[in-house]
Amino acid sequence: MSEAHELGKSGEEAAYEFLVKKGFTILEKNWRHNKDEVDLIARDGDFLVIVEVKTRSSLYFGEPQIFVNKRKQSFMIRAANAYILKNDIHLETRFDIISIVQSGDRMSIKHIADAFYPTL
């Protein structure tokens, strides 16, 4: 496994634990629909939460969340729609980003709720 892949997996596990500590119920990890993937799908009260986790080893290229561009958002929206239909979910849905910078033993986690809104 590449170093970048290991960093990403480590970030996803940290995000999972972070959300559980905040009281979220994790419904799915790395949920796939065709080529689209959602890192975490959770429930927060009356919300279905679709979570993208972005982990970087430094801020050299900017905050991790800036890499969730319109293209990535459209993949997440498409996967979320498939999940909602498949599981007959009737909850308001929001899209969150967990931004993680992990350098050595230091880790900074930023949770951005309602990071973007789906557009038609």
pLDDT tens digits along 52-85: 999 887 666 777 688 788 999 999 999 999 999 9
> Cα separation of 100 and 15, whole Å?
8
Yes or no: say if 38 and 76 are a contact pair by the CB < 8 Å rule: yes
Fold annotation for 3-116: Trna Endonuclease; Chain: A, domain 1 (3.40.1350)
Confidence (pTM): 0.90
Tokens of 24: 């979220």
Give the tens place of pLDDT for each residue, 18-31. 999 999 999 999 99
